Amino acid sequence: MIVLFLFVTGLVFGSFLSALTWRMMHDVSIAKGRSFCDSCKKPISWYDNIPLFSYLLLQGKCRHCHKKISARYPLIEFTTALTFVSVYLLYSMFFEIFPWLPSLGIAGIVLFCFVGFISIGIFVTDMEEMIIPDSFVFLLFLISFLFVLFSSDTNMWQRLLVAFVSSMFFLILNLATRGRGMGLGDVKLALPLGFLLGFPVSIVWIFVSFIIGSIVGVALLVSGRATKKTRVPFGPFMIVSFWVCALFGASLIQYLTPYF
Ligand SMILES: [Zn+2]
């Protein structure tokens, strides 16, 4: 029952997120009424706007103009739903890296669903438009700060220092590469992610981001999908690495410590 509830809630939040990210990238106000079709601009009726199911029912086409609706909508909806369910099912796996999490009880699940929600939002906007919205980063930091503050955590100052140092690390890279390697969005994103992970797993997190980035970069070059001049957004690597560390950080530290 809980799994079904979280899946449906995830679909609804995912639907909101797919519209929100689209509007953020195209400068359309969020308050501006209902969703509309990208090609014919006709509003989408409520019965055609039920996440995932309408898309499958209409076979990915607009009811009015029959143009294909971008697969990003059902993809974002499904990924969000899957994230909410996974957070619940894998919840105890987070405890090793976030020992303060059990003290929050059910609120901890809410926090990680929220972190997942923002993660997907940043992943999407950075992939599609190379933008990491400040509002996403700010909300993520604010909410994480409040949850950690009211948890059993006793390392607040250390946590804030880790956030600052991680961010400075990316800022130095940004300045050294004159913005070609890291964007300022990555510099800001390091604040909430470094804050949540804390010491020492933040080091592994940055390390793994670069490993994933290099693997993807080489794969893109070899497959001819990118040249050396192509700009690849770094935010998605930071996000994926964050979740890898959140789930497997403890074992990663064990494997990596002998090499440091
Ligand atoms: Zn249409």
Does a structural domain hold residue 230? Answer: yes
Model-wide pTM > 0.85: yes
Could you tell me the pLDDT band of residue 60, with boundaries at 50, 70 and 90? confident
As a whole number, mean pLDDT of residues 203-220 equals 95
Q: Taking CA 12 as the corner, what is the angle to CA 11 and CA 17, rounded to the nearest 5 degrees?
A: 90
Does a structural domain hold residue 120? Answer: yes
Does a structural domain hold residue 122? Answer: yes
Q: Rounded to the nearest whole angstrom, what is the distance from the C-alpha of residue 108 to the centroid of ligand 1? A: 41
Q: Rounded to the nearest whole angstrom, what is the distance from the C-alpha of residue 59 to the centroid of ligand 1? A: 13
DSSP 122-169: HHHHHHHHS---HHHHHHHHHHHHHHHHTSS---HHHHHHHHHHHHHH
The neighbourhood of ligand 1, an ion, using CB within 5 A, equals: 37, 40, 62, 64-65
Q: What are 212-255's pLDDT values in tens digits?
A: 999 999 999 999 888 878 888 999 999 999 999 999 999 999 88
Structure tokens that stand for 260 in this block: 């440091």
Does a structural domain hold residue 22? Answer: no
Does a structural domain hold residue 222? Answer: yes
Q: Rounded to the nearest whole angstrom, what is the distance from the C-alpha of residue 68 to the centroid of ligand 1? A: 8
Domain residues for the domain of 127 are: 90-259
Number of domains composing the chain: 1
Which of residues 47 and 126 earns the better pLDDT score? Answer: 126
CA–CA distance, 223 with 26 (Å, rounded to integer): 31
- Which residues lie closer than 8 Å to 175 by C-beta, 6 or more apart? none
| CB neighbour class for 173 (10 Å; exposed up to 12, middle 13-18, buried from 19) | middle
Q: Are 18 and 76 in contact (CB under 8 A)?
A: yes
Does a structural domain hold residue 238? Answer: yes
Q: Taking CA 109 as the corner, what is the angle to CA 104 and CA 115, rounded to the nearest 5 degrees?
A: 110
Q: Rounded to the nearest whole angstrom, what is the distance from the C-alpha of residue 47 to the centroid of ligand 1? A: 15
Q: Rounded to the nearest whole angstrom, what is the distance from the C-alpha of residue 60 to the centroid of ligand 1? A: 11
Q: Are 160 and 138 in contact (CB under 8 A)?
A: no
Q: What are 88-122's pLDDT values in tens digits?
A: 999 999 999 999 999 999 999 999 999 999 999 99
Dihedral sign, CA of 228, 234, 214, 257? positive
Does a structural domain hold residue 44? Answer: no
Rounded to 10 deg, the angle between the 134-149 and 106-129 helix axes is: 160
Does a structural domain hold residue 45? Answer: no
